[in-house]
């Protein structure tokens, strides 16, 4: 059947639609650069979604737990082997994603007799300065998005992922307006929670085109916080330490939320 | 599916490899040496295999945790190759390892160990237990034993780490070249200068002003310096304290707060007051 080219294209299109449907309910994850590092944050969920990959690299992912696990493990193995044979300074997110993960995900997606990876991933690598932070979103088909960054030029200081494109785009437009790269931790925590809230609200409706009202965001956020937990981790910019990732506890974050 | 950089095994399970196994799978670590006693052991006309562990390393428990000290000399036969070698190595935020033996193997082992602990935490999403860490080093030593039998690559380490569970305390272990691990109650020493050091630590612990575990940090540092100086007196492979070159032993402390490396200035002060 798929010897004919158009059949193949059709099969790929079906596969894309299937995966998009599967991912559509995925709760948003935000990664925001601030003065002292990068904050990863999401709410709720029965499974862990934010992971340490290497000294300066972390991952947030939605999708099938089995697929996330395989990709996460592959990323850790690659980074660890590279860091061991050369130096930890030679482990780079750009190379990890561009040369290793993306090609594998693409071929799994296009070989329609085999299973694709049902996962959408958001990687971040903390730099010495906020300008050197790198954010990469990797799709199930191997597509890499840099959230507006142009190769070799200044990057945006955040990245998000969500179940749907609409949800992601609204979060991005909110953060473009609200988020500054040299924000304090309290400020960045608030932006991350608000962005997550906007993303999650958007997932509940089919036709959200514009950002919701502030009051509505606040109310929704308070409701969600009342019945779910916060999952968060930071990549610290502190150059005195080799290992920058640290998971944050729900309890310590709630103490900093004042509205 | 074509092979690629990412070894994506369809039957993959997260509970799989430890870090050395991953390195072997990728061909980045030589396979465990084969133990072949017939081939390389002393035969008629052959010199008997003699262990070389030219250095002095010591560690003991004191009131502030575990102090670990090592001289800085690296030798090759009768030649001093380097006088600023670091033989006390940080493995993670709470663990240090000091090495006597062949530096190439020892440093590689420290590197594998360091990555093993991180790899475990990242893949398994929990910190490796103290027993697990102690065992990981034991396994590396056992894998290396074939080389030891061939007369190369002998390593005899000391390992100290802070155990938060069940009873928070600093723990100290020493090993033999085959990988047997022993937990030390008070002190451990290894390397060619260790007999002298062991004598001193035994004496201090039993008949000194106070037992080692009651010593303050300054007292502990002064005993460590005196012990290394004594070892260097009769052992050519131990650097001790280089008075003219102002090269002091490397001293690190494992405590509840993690690892502290004493500055040269701090060691020099204690040395001038209590040792020189």
pLDDT in tens, chain B (276 residues): 333 444 455 445 555 678 988 888 888 887 776 666 554 444 454 455 455 667 899 999 999 999 999 999 888 778 888 888 889 999 988 999 998 888 888 889 999 999 999 999 999 999 999 999 999 999 999 988 888 888 777 889 999 999 998 889 999 999 998 899 999 999 999 999 999 999 999 999 999 999 999 999 999 999 999 999 999 998 888 888 888 888 999 999 999 999 999 999 999 999 999 988
Angstroms from B25 CA to nearest CA on chain A: 11
Q: Can B55 be counted among the known catalytic residues?
A: yes
Dihedral pair phi/psi, residue A247, rounded to 5°? -80, 145
Question: What's residue B6's pLDDT?
Answer: 45
**B112: chain A residues, CB-CB within 8 Å:** 84
Element (H, E) at A43: strand A37-43
A66 at interface of B, judged by CB pairs closer than 8 A = no
Contact A81 B23 (CB under 8 A): yes
The model's pTM: 0.87
A174: tokens are 């909110």
B104 at interface of A, judged by CB pairs closer than 8 A = no
Name which of B52, B186, B157, B153 is nearest B95 in CA terms. B157
**A244: chain B residues, CB-CB within 8 Å:** none
Angstroms from A45 CA to nearest CA on chain B: 17
Question: What's residue B9's pLDDT?
Answer: 52
Contact A84 B7 (CB under 8 A): no
Round to whole Å and give the CA distance between A204 and A164. 11
Name which of B249, B167, B211, B196 is nearest B61 in CA terms. B211
Question: What's residue A147's pLDDT?
Answer: 63
How do the domains of chain B map onto residue ranges? 55-275
The set of residues, in sequence order, having a beta carbon less than 8 Å from that of B133 and lying 6+ positions away, is: B91, B95, B113, B117, B159, B161
Question: What's residue B16's pLDDT?
Answer: 60
State which residue of chain B sits closest to A69, comparing Cα positions: B14
Contact A81 B22 (CB under 8 A): yes
Name which of B242, B252, B266 is nearest B87 in CA terms. B252
A18 at interface of B, judged by CB pairs closer than 8 A = no
Instruction: Identify any residues that bridge with B21 across adjacent strands, giving them in sequence order.
Output: none
Q: Which CATH architecture has domain A26-254?
A: 4-Layer Sandwich (3.60)
ipTM for the assembly: 0.90
Round to whole Å and give the CA distance between B239 and B199. 18
A83: tokens are 């860091």
CB A157 within 8 A of CB A179: yes
How do the domains of chain A map onto residue ranges? 26-254
Angstroms from A31 CA to nearest CA on chain B: 19
For chain A positions 33-62, those within 8 Å of chain B (CB to CB) are: 48, 51-54
* pLDDT tens string B66-96: 999 999 988 877 888 888 888 999 998 899 9
Domain covering B55-275, topology = 3.60.20
CA distances (Å), A124 to each of A52, A60, A92, A136, in order? 10, 9, 10, 6
CB B214 within 8 A of CB B26: no
Number of Cβ within 10 Å of residue B32's Cβ equals 16
Round to whole Å and give the CA distance between A46 and A67. 16
B15 at interface of A, judged by CB pairs closer than 8 A = no
Name which of A122, A132, A133, A143 is nearest A199 in CA terms. A122
Round to whole Å and give the CA distance between B178 and B138. 8
Contact B112 A84 (CB under 8 A): yes
DSSP E strands in chain B: the ranges are 57-62, 65-70, 74-76, 79-82, 88-92, 95-101, 155-163, 169-175, 181-183, 187-190, 250-255, 258-261
Interface test with B, best of A53, A57, A77, A111 (most B CBs within 10 A): A77
* pLDDT tens string A131-163: 889 999 999 999 998 765 666 555 678 999 999
* pLDDT tens string B239-251: 888 888 889 999 9
The set of residues, in sequence order, having a beta carbon less than 8 Å from that of A212 and lying 6+ positions away, is: A198, A201, A220
Catalytic one of B55, B75, B105, B230: B55
């Amino acid at each position: 059947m798929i010897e004919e080219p158009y059949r193949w294209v059709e099969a790929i299109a079906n596969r894309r639609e299937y995966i998009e449907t599967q991912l559509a309910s995925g709760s948003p994850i935000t990664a925001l650069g601030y003065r002292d590092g990068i904050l990863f944050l999401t709410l709720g969920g029965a499974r862990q979604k934010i992971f340490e990959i290497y000294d300066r690299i972390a991952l947030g992912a939605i999708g099938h737990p089995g697929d996330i696990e395989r990709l996460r493990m592959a990323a850790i193995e690659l980074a660890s082997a590279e860091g061991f044979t050369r130096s930890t300074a030679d482990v780079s997110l750009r190379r990890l994603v561009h040369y290793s993960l993306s090609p594998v995900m693409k071929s799994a997606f296009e070989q329609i007799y085999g299973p694709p990876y049902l996962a959408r991933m958001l990687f971040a690598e903390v730099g010495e300065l906020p300008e050197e932070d790198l954010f990469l979103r990797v799709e199930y088909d191997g597509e890499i998005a840099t959230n507006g960054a142009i190769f070799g030029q200044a990057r945006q200081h955040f990245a998000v992922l969500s179940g749907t494109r609409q949800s992601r785009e609204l979060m991005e437009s909110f953060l473009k307006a609200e988020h500054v790269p040299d924000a304090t931790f309290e400020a960045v925590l608030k932006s991350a929670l608000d962005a997550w809230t906007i993303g999650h609200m958007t997932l509940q409706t089919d036709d959200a085109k514009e950002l919701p009202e502030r009051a509505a965001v606040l109310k929704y956020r308070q409701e969600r916080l009342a019945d779910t937990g916060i999952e968060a981790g930071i990549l610290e910019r502190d150059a005195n330490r080799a290992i920058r990732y640290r998971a944050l506890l729900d309890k310590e974050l709630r103490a900093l939320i004042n509205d | 599916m074509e092979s690629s950089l990412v070894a994506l095994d369809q039957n993959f399970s997260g509970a799989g490899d430890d870090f050395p196994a991953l390195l072997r799978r990728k061909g980045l670590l030589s396979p465990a040496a084969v133990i072949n006693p017939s081939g390389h052991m002393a035969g008629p006309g052959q010199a008997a295999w003699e262990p070389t562990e030219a250095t002095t390393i010591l560690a003991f428990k004191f009131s502030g945790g575990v102090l670990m000290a090592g001289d800085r000399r690296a030798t090759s036969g009768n030649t001093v190759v380097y006088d600023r070698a670091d033989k006390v190595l940080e493995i993670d935020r709470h663990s240090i390892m000091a090495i006597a033996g062949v530096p190439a193997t020892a440093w590689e082992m420290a590197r594998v160990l360091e990555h093993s602990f991180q790899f475990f935490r990242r893949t398994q999403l929990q910190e490796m237990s103290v027993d697990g860490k102690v065992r990981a080093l034991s396994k590396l030593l056992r894998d290396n034993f074939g080389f030891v039998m061939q007369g190369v690559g002998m390593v005899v380490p000391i390992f100290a780490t802070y155990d938060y569970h069940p009873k928070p305390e600093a723990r100290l272990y020493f090993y033999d070249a085959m990988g047997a691990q022993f937990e030390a109650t008070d002190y451990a020493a290894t390397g060619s200068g260790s007999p002298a050091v062991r004598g001193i630590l035994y004496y201090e612990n039993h008949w000194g002003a106070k037992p080692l575990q009651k010593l303050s940090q300054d007292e502990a540092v002064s005993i460590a310096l005196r012990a290394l100086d004594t070892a260097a007196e009769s052992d050519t492979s131990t650097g001790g304290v280089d008075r003219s070159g102002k090269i002091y032993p490397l001293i690190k402390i494992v405590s509840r707060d993690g690892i502290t490396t004493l500055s040269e200035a701090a060691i020099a002060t204690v040395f001038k007051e209590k040792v020189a």
